[in-house]
Amino acid sequence: MQYKCKNCGGNVLFDPDSQKMVCAQCSSENSQDIISGNLESCPNCGAPLEITDKTTSSKCNYCGSYLIFDNHLQNDFLPNLVLPFKISKNKVRDLINENFGKRIFVPDNFLNYKSLEKIEGVYVPFYLYDYLSHCTLEAVGIKDRSWRQGDYIVTEHRHYQISRDLDIPFHKVPVDGSKVLDDAKMSLVEPYDYDQLLSFDTQFLSGFFSDQADFEKGDLETLAQEKARDFAKIILNRSVSGYTRIVKNREEIDCANIDSYYALMPMWIYRYSFMEKEYDIFINGQNGKIIGEIPIDKKKVFIYFSLFFIVLALIIGLGLSLAGAL
Ligand SMILES: [Zn+2]
Ligand SMILES: [Zn+2]
Instruction: Assess if residue 164 is contained within a domain.
Output: yes
Task: Please tell me whether residues 229 and 309 are part of one structural domain.
Answer: no
Q: Judge whether 47 lies within some domain.
A: no
Query: 123 CA distance to ligand 2 centroid (A)?
Result: 21
Ligand closest to 7 (CA) is: 1
- Burial-class residue 11 by CB neighbours within 10 Å (0-12, 13-18, 19+): buried
- Arithmetic mean of pLDDT, 213-222: 91
Query: What is the predicted pLDDT for the residue at 165?
Result: 96
Residue 311 lies in a domain: yes
Q: How many domains are contained in the chain?
A: 2
Q: Tens of pLDDT along 281-320?
A: 999 999 999 988 878 877 777 776 777 777 777 787 777 7
Which numbered ligand comes closest to the C-alpha of 33? 1
Question: Are 252 and 303 found together in one domain?
Answer: no
Q: What is the spatial distance between Cα 220 and Cα 27, in angstroms, rounded to a whole number?
A: 42
**Separation of 145 CA from ligand 1 center, angstroms?**
79
Q: How far is the CA of 230 from the centre of ligand 2 (A)?
A: 49
Distance 71 CA to ligand 2 centre (A): 19
Ligand (nearest to CA of 27): 1
Report residues near ion ligand 2: CB below 5 Å.
42, 44-45, 47, 60, 62-63, 65
Q: Are residues 159 and 221 in the same domain?
A: yes
160 in a domain, yes or no? yes
Residue 37: inside a domain: no
pLDDT of 324 higher than 90? no
What spacing in Å lies between the alpha carbon of 57 and ligand 1's midpoint? 21
Centre of ligand 1 from the C-alpha of residue 211, in Å: 27
pLDDT at residue 256, as a whole number: 95
Domain annotation covers residue 317 = yes
The bridge status of strand 55-59 relative to strand 209-211 is antiparallel
Q: What is the pLDDT of residue 141?
A: 95
Domain span at 226? 129-173+216-260
Tell me, in angstroms, the distance from the centre of ligand 1 to residue 32's CA. 8
Question: Is the domain of 318 the same as that of 225?
Answer: no
Residue 61 has a pLDDT of 92
Asked whether residue 255 carries a pLDDT value surpassing 90, the answer given is yes
Is 180 inside any structural domain? no
- Determine the distance separating the centroid of ligand 2 and the alpha carbon of 96, expressed in angstroms: 29
What pLDDT is attached to residue 326? 64
The number of C-alpha atoms within 13 Å of 299 and in the hemisphere containing its C-beta is 4
Whether residue 315 is found in the same domain as residue 230: no
Coil vs helix vs strand at 114? helix
DSSP letter, residue 18? T
The reply to whether 155 and 225 lie within a common domain is yes
Distance 29 CA to ligand 1 centre (A): 8
Nearest ligand by distance to the CA of 23: 1
243 and 310 within one domain: no
Q: In which region does residue 30 sit, left (phi positive, over 0), alpha (psi from -120 to 50) or beta (all else)?
A: left
Pair type for strands 245-274 and 81-82 = parallel
66 CA to centre of ligand 2 in angstroms: 8
CA of 15 to the centre of ligand 1 (A): 14
Is 9 contained in some domain? Answer: no
